[in-house]
Amino acid sequence: MTSNSEIILKTQSITKSVSLENKQLHLLQGIDLTVYKGETVAIVGSSGSGKTTLLSLLAGLDLPSQGEVYLKNKPLHQLNEEDRSQVRADHVGFIFQQFLLVNSLTALENVMLPAELANNGNAKQEAQALLAQVGLSDRGSHFPSQLSGGEQQRVAIARAFITKPDILFADEPTGNLDKKTSNHIADLLFDLNKHYDTTLVLVTHDLLLAKRCQRSVEMKDGHLVDQSIVQKPLAEQNQEPHQPIINPANA
Ligand SMILES: Nc1ncnc2c1ncn2[C@@H]1O[C@H](COP(=O)(O)OP(=O)(O)OP(=O)(O)O)[C@@H](O)[C@H]1O
Ligand SMILES: [Mg+2]
C-alpha cells in the first residue's frame, strides 16, 4: 500500500532508440513516470509496445538513450554497470519474462543465489521456505531443464523475493501459470507489498492482476498514453480474500 509520498522511482523524458540495419528504431519515446514507495503499479499494453524495454530501464538493467531515471534517488542513467548492479543488489527484485534462471544451478541454488551474494548466512533456510511458499518444496534439487515453464516461473518469483527488495519489477509474473497458481502468485506478490511495503511494478496482460494494482499505466507504440486508466481508492485495494501467505516472522 502507499504509505507515504516518498518517491522511489522517477523517470524524466526517457527514450530508447536502437539501430537495426542502418535504421533507427525508437522503442521508447519520452516516458515520464513517478512511482511512490509502497505503490502497486501495473504496466499494460499490447505486444511490442515497449513494456519490457521500459522495465529494463526502470530497473537499471539497461541505459536510456536520453533522459533520466532515478531509483531511490540514485541517478541510474549516470551510473556504470558495476554501480547499477550494486543499486539492484541493494534495492531491486526482478522477475524476467523469460525467467533467466541459471541452468547449471538447481532450483534451490537459484533461489539462494541473490541472498548468498548479499552474504546472508541464512540463505538456504530462507530459500527452502520460499520454495515452499511457491509450492515447490519437492523440486529444490531439479535443474531448470527439469522443470515445467510454470515451475521455472515460480522459482524466478522465489528468487526475486529472497532479498525482500524495496521495489519488485515483474514482467508477466503470471504469464505461464494456470488460474489457481496465478491467483496464488498474485496473493504472494500483494502480501509482499503489504507486509514489507515492497513497491510492485508489474507488466501484465492479465487484467485481473492489473485490477488488483492501485494504478495502471498503458504503453502504446513506445509512449505512455494513459497514467490513470485504473485508479482505485486505497480502501478498495487488495481486498481479494485469502489467507496471508507471507508470515513476516519467518518469511
Ligand atoms: N534490442 C532490440 N533491437 C531492436 N528492436 C528491439 C530490441 N528490443 C526490442 N525491440 C523491439 O522493440 C519493441 C518493444 O519490445 P518490448 O520487448 O519492449 O515489447 P513488449 O511490450 O514487452 O511486448 P510483449 O508484450 O510481447 O512482451 C518491439 O517491437 C521489439 O521488436
Ligand atoms: Mg515483454
In the chain, the number of structural domains is 1
Mean pLDDT score, 141-157: 94
Tell me the mean pLDDT in the region 152-180: 91
CA 11 to chain centre: 17
Q: How far is the CA of 221 from the centre of ligand 2 (A)?
A: 13
Residue with cell 505461464: 176
CATH number at residue 92: 3.40.50.300
For a ligand 1 pocket test, name from 44, 52, 206, 207 the mutation site with the most ligand atoms within 8 angstroms of its C-beta: 52
Counting residues of the chain whose pLDDT is more than 90, the rounded percentage is 70
Burial 216-240 (b: 16+ CB within 10 A, else e): bbbbeebbbeeeeebeeeeeebbee
Task: State the CB neighbour count (10 A cutoff) for residue 247.
Answer: 11
- What integer pLDDT is reported at residue 196 of this predicted model? 85
Spatial distance between the Cα atoms of 124 and 137, rounded to a whole number of angstroms: 13
In one-letter notation, the amino acid at residue 192 is L
Residue 175 binned pLDDT confidence (cut-offs 50, 70, 90): confident
How close is the Cα of 45 to the center of ligand 1, in Å? 12
Give yes or no for a contact between 95 and 169, defined as CB atoms under 8 angstroms apart. yes
Ligand 1 pocket mutation, candidates 22, 27, 219, criterion most atoms within 8 A of CB: 27
Give the ligand 1 atom nearest the CA of 49: 21
Checking if the pLDDT of 242 tops 60, the result is no
**C-alpha cell recorded at residue 69:** 531515471
**Nearest atom of ligand 1 to the alpha carbon of 45:** 21
**Quick one: which ligand is closest to 220's CA?**
1
Query: Is 51 inside any structural domain?
Result: yes
At 193-231, the pLDDT tens digits run 998 899 999 999 998 899 999 999 999 999 998 766 545
Query: Residue 250: pLDDT band by 50, 70, 90 thresholds?
Result: very low
Q: According to the model, what pLDDT value does residue 177 have?
A: 83
| 71 beta partners | 9, 74
Looking at residue 71, its amino acid is: L
> How far is the C-alpha of 76 from the C-alpha of 63, rounded, in Å?
8
Summarize the confidence of residues 15-25 as an average pLDDT: 94
Domain membership of residue 241 (yes or no) is no
Any idea which ligand is nearest the CA of 50?
1
d(CA 126, CA 87): 22
Residue 247: pLDDT band by 50, 70, 90 thresholds?
A: low
Quick check: is 19 in a domain? yes
The reply to whether 48 falls in a domain is yes
Placement of cell 538447481 in the chain: 106
- Whether 192 maps to a domain, the answer reads yes
Closest-approaching ligand to the CA atom of 56: 1
In a domain, 247, yes or no: no
Residue 2: per-residue pLDDT: 47
pLDDT at 241: 52
* Residue 249 falls inside a structural domain: no
Ligand (nearest to CA of 96): 2
| Higher pLDDT among residues 136 and 237, named by residue | 136
- Residue 235 confidence (pLDDT) above 50: no
- Around ion ligand 2, which residues have CB less than 5 A away? 52, 97
Residue located nearest, by CA, to atom 26 of ligand 1: 47
Is the model's pLDDT at 251 over the cut of 50?
A: no
Ligand 1 atom closest to Cα of residue 172: 27
Query: pLDDT > 70: what percent of the chain?
Result: 88
Nearest CA-CA partner of 61 in 171, 212, 150: 171
Residue partners of 149: CB distance under 8 A and separation at least 6: 176
Q: Whose CA is nearest to atom 28 of ligand 1?
A: 48
- pLDDT band, residue 1 (cuts 50/70/90): very low
Give the structural domain span for 156: 7-234
Q: Is the pLDDT of residue 3 over 60?
A: no
